[in-house]
Structure 1
Amino acid sequence: MAQILKSRQELELLFAPTAEVGFELIEKECVDLILMDINLPGMSGVEALQLLKQNPETAAIPVVALSANAMPTDADRHG
């Protein structure tokens, strides 16, 4: 992802190795979009998405879920 977005100087990409670290970043930074791996270590991306949508402060942030091994049924299940 970093390589893909590297040429976009107007974007700042922040990294979080886990959902828990990602939540900490969101509290400190103004985030316009979340790119999230579904298969995170610890809390899954699916669980993290549910928490984001339940929180009024993060519910409106668009989330793009990514996964190297997603199946079509995953998109339907988590839509």
Structure 2
Amino acid sequence: MGRAPARALRRSRLGREGINLLVCDGEAALQTVFHFHLHVIPRYTPGEWALPPDPPQADAALLERHAQAIVDALAAAG
């Protein structure tokens, strides 16, 4: 994945200062969708690490706006 996505995310209008990448493999690891996928978790300072057992679902329109902000920041980074 490289450093460009993390840099772009920090520079985006979303105000994130970093990211964690998470792969859950298997039911014991809280995997709920049984194919490979990567979670991109925005981080802020100060921040504590916590993975809730039943995380809330984000609104689809909000996720789309966030995805567009990341795409825009990646495009601006060249």
TM-score bracket, normalised by the shorter chain, equals: under 0.3
TM-score, normalised on structure 1? Answer: 0.24
TM-score, normalised on structure 2? Answer: 0.24
Whose radius of gyration is greater, 1 or 2? 2
